[in-house]
Amino acid sequence: MLKSKVQRHKAKRKSRRGAKPPKRGLLFWILAGATMLGAFGAVVTFLPKILVTASQPVDAKDPFSVSFTITNDSFIPLNDVNVSLGVGQVTTFPRLPDPNFIPSFKSRLVRPEWKNHTLAMDEKFTVLIEDIFTARSDSLMVSGADLAIVVDYRPWFLPINKEKIFRFKGRPVTNDLFYWYFFPLK
């Protein structure tokens, strides 16, 4: 007896439901993992990256004659780039900075020329700390400083602003040299 088309279709569907999925071999999982790593790498490549570097002070008697350069280190243009200065602690001799001090950097100082920049790929601009304060006195010797360069920006494809804090500590190395170095936030 010949089965009708409807009966044959129902039989095929029933046999497919009870069938086990095909076994995946080792090569399948290796290729799937490589694909996921490649996709992750592509996303990371296009994430916005801000880089802040410090120069050495121009005036040996003024540790705040340092400049900080903000660089867009990614492919994505950044809009509304604003820079502010967070002050953690500044100490003068004979007092030394507290090594256990944990700054909040909630209060910030800003200059009008530090606001509203647009940075294309590898574009940069520089801020001078001496625009805000200086220590050019022979009687005032800075024994240490803990500052933060806070960069607020908006990637061109996102409607929200992002913020990144770069902490720098400074200390005198010799009487004529004050050294600034990057210090990660904890």
The reply to whether 123 falls in a domain is yes
Q: What percent of the chain has pLDDT over 90?
A: 48
Q: What is the pLDDT at residue 66?
A: 93
Mean pLDDT of 20-45: 72
Q: Residue 4 falls within a domain, yes or no?
A: no
Measured between alpha carbons, how far is 84 from 152 in angstroms, rounded to an integer? 8
Residue 36 counted as domain residue: no
Q: According to the model, what pLDDT value does residue 13 have?
A: 62
Structural domain count, the chain: 1
43-92 pLDDT per residue, tens: 555 678 899 999 988 887 788 999 999 999 988 899 999 999 999 999 98
133-141 long-range contacts, CB within 8 A, separation 24+: 133/64, 134/62, 134/64, 134/65, 135/61, 135/62, 135/63, 135/64, 135/92, 136/59, 136/61, 136/62, 138/61, 140/92, 141/92, 141/93, 141/172
Residue 126 lies in a domain: yes
- Whether the predicted pLDDT of 4 surpasses 60: yes
Q: Is 135 inside any structural domain?
A: yes
For residue 113, CA distances in Å to 82, 92, 166, 171 come to 9, 29, 19, 27
CB atoms within 10 A of CB 142: 20
More confident residue, 22 or 38: 38
Report if residue 143 sits inside a domain: yes
What pTM was estimated for this model as a whole?
0.75
DSSP-derived 3-state class of residue 29: helix
Band (pLDDT 50/70/90 cuts) for residue 40 is low
Residue 28 forms part of a structural domain: no
Separation CA 98–CA 167 (nearest Å): 16
Q: What is the pLDDT of residues 96-117, one digit of tens each?
A: 999 899 999 998 999 999 999 9
In CATH, what number is assigned to the domain containing residue 99?
Answer: 2.60.40
Residue range of the domain that includes 116 = 50-182
